[in-house]
């Protein structure tokens, strides 16, 4: 017997939520090539690189695709977030905005770019410090591109 779901108000049984590969690939054990191929296919199929993850419970929700790439505690085995750099670059190339609010960096209501700025300190391994410094540079470049595109679009309207 089907029960009404508070989420959808119907009497149909809840269907499993289909999560975007832009969210699931960065937290997988797949090779970089496989992750990139899956993410490129998702982008080619029109998926939004800024769309939040679909599960309603924060503990099971990865935030946005950039957040999923940067959430070390959800990486399988010994995988490091550093291994997600090619996916991060792909997301940024396709308009991922690092200024959007994140639920996954452990800091509420601070965009990920600002939250990580506070974490690039001497206590981190040199590899991670270099990664975050490089990443912040990529974020800043992406923000300039996004703002320029927005101004261009507003000027055309």
Residue 4 neighbours by CB under 8 Å, 6+ apart:
10, 11
Share of the chain above pLDDT 70, in %: 66
On whether residue 134 sits in a domain, the answer given is yes
The pLDDT value given to residue 41: 94
Asked if residue 14 is part of any domain, the answer here is no
Whether residue 70 is contained in a domain is answered as: yes
From 71, 22, 28, 26, select the one nearest 50 (Cα to Cα). 22
pTM equals: 0.74
Q: In total, how many domains does the chain have?
A: 1
Res. 42 pLDDT band, cuts 50 70 90: very high
Give the model confidence (pLDDT) of 86-109 as tens digits. 999 999 999 999 888 766 545 444
Is residue 30 over pLDDT 50?
yes
Q: What is the pLDDT of residue 26?
A: 81
Residue 8 lies in a domain: no
Is there a domain that residue 73 lies in?
A: yes
| DSSP one-letter code for 6 | T
Residue 16 lies in a domain: no
| Cα atoms in the 13 Å half-sphere on the side-chain side of 48 | 8
> What number is the average pLDDT over the span 44-70?
80
Say if residue 20's pLDDT is above 80. Answer: yes
Distance CA 69, CA 31 (A): 14
In a domain, 4, yes or no: no
Confirm whether 32 is domain-assigned.
Answer: yes
Domain with 84 in it: 21-156
């Amino acid at each position: 017997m089907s029960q009404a779901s508070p989420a959808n108000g119907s009497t149909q049984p809840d269907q499993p939520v289909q999560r975007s590969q832009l969210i699931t690939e960065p937290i997988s054990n797949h090779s970089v090539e496989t992750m990139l191929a899956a993410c490129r296919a998702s982008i080619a199929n029109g998926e939004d690189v800024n769309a939040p993850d679909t599960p309603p419970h924060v503990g099971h929700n990865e935030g946005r695709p950039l957040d999923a790439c940067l959430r070390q505690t959800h990486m399988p085995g010994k995988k490091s977030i550093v291994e997600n750099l090619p996916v991060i670059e792909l997301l940024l190339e396709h308009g991922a905005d690092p200024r959007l609010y994140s639920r996954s960096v452990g800091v509420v209501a601070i965009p990920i770019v600002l939250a990580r700025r506070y974490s690039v300190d001497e206590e981190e391994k040199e590899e991670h410090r270099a990664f975050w410094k490089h990443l912040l540079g990529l974020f800043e470049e992406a923000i300039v591109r996004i703002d320029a595109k927005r101004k261009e679009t507003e000027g055309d309207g």
